[in-house]
Amino acid sequence: MRAVSRWCFVQRRTLSLMVDHLSVTTTTPDRNSAAQLAASAVRAKLAATAQVHGPVANFFWHLGEEGQGEEWLAVFKTTSERYPELEAHLIAEHPWENPEVTAVTLAAGSAGYLAWIERATTPNAS
């Protein structure tokens, strides 16, 4: 392992003892819906940041039939501690009855960025 990679791995392992950092995604039918979810989640400090991408092509099965369409992707960065509230918020505010809300743990990241995610999602902190 290169020295820098090893250092990042050691730093990440140290940080992960305290908190997991997540990338959370959902899709929406239009840009406005994705932007509203992104802004409201960041405003509520449920996510440190949110990016909106799109449109993206989607191919899927729904109610036993194959489908395709265009959707907008919203990606949020948060912590495992804030995830339950973020998930509840996305489901409550989403225009679809059963929206996709998925999360993956960030395997690595710069120590400063990960610390910023923690600070930015701490309620009542500036």
Instruction: Dump the DSSP string for 54-113.
Output: EEEEEEEEETTEEEEEEEEEEEEEEETTTHHHHHHHHHHH-SSSS---EEEE-S---HHH
Query: What sign for the dihedral angle of Cα 57, 103, 13, 116?
Result: positive
Q: Name the residue ranges covered by the structural domains of the chain.
A: 3-120
| Local confidence pLDDT in tens for the 126 residues of the chain | 455 454 445 455 544 456 899 999 999 999 999 999 999 999 999 999 999 999 999 999 989 999 999 999 999 999 999 999 999 999 999 999 999 999 999 999 999 999 999 999 999 876
- Give the fold, CATH level 3, of 3-120: Alpha-Beta Plaits (3.30.70)
Element (H, E) at 22: strand 21-28
- Tell me whether residue 16 is exposed, middle or buried, using C-beta atoms within 10 angstroms of its C-beta: 0 to 12, 13 to 18, 19 or more: middle
What pTM was computed for the model? 0.84
CA distance 61 to 114: 36
Element (H, E) at 2: none
Beta-carbon count within 10 A of 73 CB: 17
Residue 52, SS3 per DSSP: strand
Shortest CA distance to 41 belongs to which of 91, 90, 94, 84? 90
